[in-house]
Structure 1
């Protein structure tokens, strides 16, 4: 008998930065039975440059007609804009406008990675966070300012000790990500935010929450959470943190 557990309930379309190697596996890990996930790759930045705020601003401003048009071939119910820093680099207004433009062009509900972080924190009632990412320090500054504009105060942070290229960000192991989260944490933080769709943070969530005693929010987890909220779908599997428990 054929196994149809991977399709039938809903379709999610995801716009992925063209060098990203971890968003797709994470979405497959996070999707509930009956939900299929479909991807199109987008450009607008130089793969060989350090992904700083200028590079990521370029991605945010890139023309989406090509990849979005291809993605619409599967008639997705929800479209995810799968880069956190591309809209963090422009601010909350740009992030909301981008989501509105994608929705208007596609007819599908739309989730951005940056907006999903804010939605997750509001769902959990957390407005004081520890922040960590593989970004350069100046892009972390921009990200923290974005969250401040949305009413979220960063009380502690961790910058990665060296500048990472696109390949380097994607190559971080879950153990390295967990170490960065521990470095960022403080007693004043109500939650830990691990920002970047190309960072293997989803695999760390359960262990970090058990160890640190507070919610852990990652870009990819937050995007799937908001998507399932929009689709009014529950989630039976454990392991993806206090945020996903709100779906039960």
Structure 2
């Protein structure tokens, strides 16, 4: 007997629908980490929808070539045709490579190419996340080659975050970035800590991070911000949504969904 005939209501399974927030993501075609980490952090009612662009190599030349390609505009048009609430450009090094003014210009371009949704980038989200946790002087961990790592330092210091200690892994292959195991990520991030750093930032959206954030914060006693965590948080923050699951860092203290159940507007 169905509900219309006075019987019990049917029981439906959660189907991943973004009833409360749909996040649109422009992401590198060879990358795999950011989407899965966003889904891991997302409470019920938040969904992630991706369009991809090609990254030749994780070097200055390769990233710069990607950012000069018409694929970014095409991706924004495609993604903007879906009923998304916020659009995130999921490339940290790509958005900080040429400095803060470039990152801001990228956001303005994305707004023109995909009018309607709110817009952020991994770099803009990082700055907002560092402000959220009250970070000033920081430590930096990246998997990048030197020329890209140095640009990360420049971007952070340009935005008034003195980098007290830093280290990088020198990886220039996108697949290899995603293959660094979590135990190595944990040890690597610990190694860059500085007693005067108010937070540690882990850059790169194809570098596994969110699984170790809570453990790192417990061990080091300070906020840990990663590019993927910051990007997801900023998408929620822009919309005023309680849409994160517990266990992914202090950053989400104001964005946790009650009981990890369905989320809603503030």
What TM-score bracket applies, with the shorter chain setting the length?
Answer: over 0.9
List gaps (5 residues or longer) in structure 1: none
For the residue of structure 1 that corresponds to 2:84, the secondary structure is: coil
Report runs of 4+ in structure 1 exceeding 3 Å deviation: none
What is the correspondence of 1:50-199 to structure 2 with a 5 Å cutoff?
Answer: 51-63=58-70, 64-107=72-115, 108-160=117-169, 162-199=170-207
Task: For 2:31 and 2:250, locate their aligned partners in 1 and report how far apart those are by CA, in whole Å.
Answer: 26
Task: For 1:237 and 1:30, locate their aligned partners in 2 and report how far apart those are by CA, in whole Å.
Answer: 5
What does residue 26 of structure 1 align with? 37
The total of aligned residue pairs comes to 243
User: Which has more radius of gyration?
Assistant: 2
With structure 2 as the length reference, what TM-score do the two structures score?
0.87
Q: CA RMSD in A?
A: 1.5
List gaps (5 residues or longer) in structure 2: 1-10, 257-266
What does residue 26 of structure 2 align with? 15
Q: Deviations over 1:95-152 (max 9, x none)?
A: 0111111112212111100111111011111111110111012211111101111111
With structure 1 as the length reference, what TM-score do the two structures score?
0.93
For the residue of structure 2 that corresponds to 1:155, the secondary structure is: strand
Give the deviation of 1:32 after TM superposition: 2.0
Decide whether the 8 Å contact of 2:138 with 2:198 is kept in 1: yes
Task: For 2:239 and 2:38, locate their aligned partners in 1 and report how far apart those are by CA, in whole Å.
Answer: 15
